[in-house]
Amino acid sequence: WSVLASDPTSAADTPRAVLDPAGDELMLSDREGRTVALSLATQAWRTLVAVPEPALRSDSFAMVLDAARGRLVRYGGNNGAPGGTRADAFELPLAGGEWAPFGPYWSGPRQWHEAVLDRSRGRMVVYGGWTSLPLDPLISLPLSGEGP
């Protein structure tokens, strides 16, 4: 193992990471929406979102890179409040901007789940997780924004 670069989000808890192979970057987002990208070629960081966004606060969310639409998408998690498991999705345009709600709430709340991008079908596929309610183990979110 070798250290590539110090993580500017390291003071934050539970960041999630996705790889952008076309941009040769590793993108990290923390529980409050601070988002950075590491160039794997130069090991230089760039900031996508620097200011915490309280409405976005969530641990144990899942995130994918929707490169076809030029954005990151994150779903679910827990905001730390009693009954705070989330069922919402947010998107961050990579060309610049802030995290914003994406689509309607869907499929009920979930945390500690995993997600992958199904590029050929244009959807985020989510597996597992936990909630206090019964949940379907495998769900998908159309990234077109048209709803499930």
Q: Indicate whether 147 pLDDT > 80.
A: no
Cβ atoms of 53 and 46 closer than 8 Å: no
- Rounded (10°) CA dihedral 47, 53, 55, 61: 40
Band (105; pLDDT cuts 50, 70, 90): low
Single out the residue of 92, 91, 95, 99 nearest to residue 142, CA to CA: 91
> Average pLDDT in the 111-131 region?
91
Distance CA 69, CA 4 (A): 29
- Which string of DSSP letters, residue by residue, matches 20-46? ETTTTEEEEE-TT--EEEEETTT--EE
Phi, psi torsion values for 10, nearest 5 degrees: -60, -20
Cβ atoms of 9 and 16 closer than 8 Å: no
Band (51; pLDDT cuts 50, 70, 90): confident
Q: Which of 8-12, 36-40, 67-71, 129-133 has the lowest mean pLDDT?
A: 8-12
Distance CA 67, CA 85 (A): 27
Q: What percent of the chain has pLDDT over 70?
A: 89
Please state the pTM of the whole predicted model.
Answer: 0.88
Looking at 21-137, which runs of residues are DSSP E strands?
25-29, 35-39, 45-49, 62-66, 71-75, 89-93, 100-101, 114-118, 123-127
CB neighbour class for 62 (10 Å; exposed up to 12, middle 13-18, buried from 19)? buried
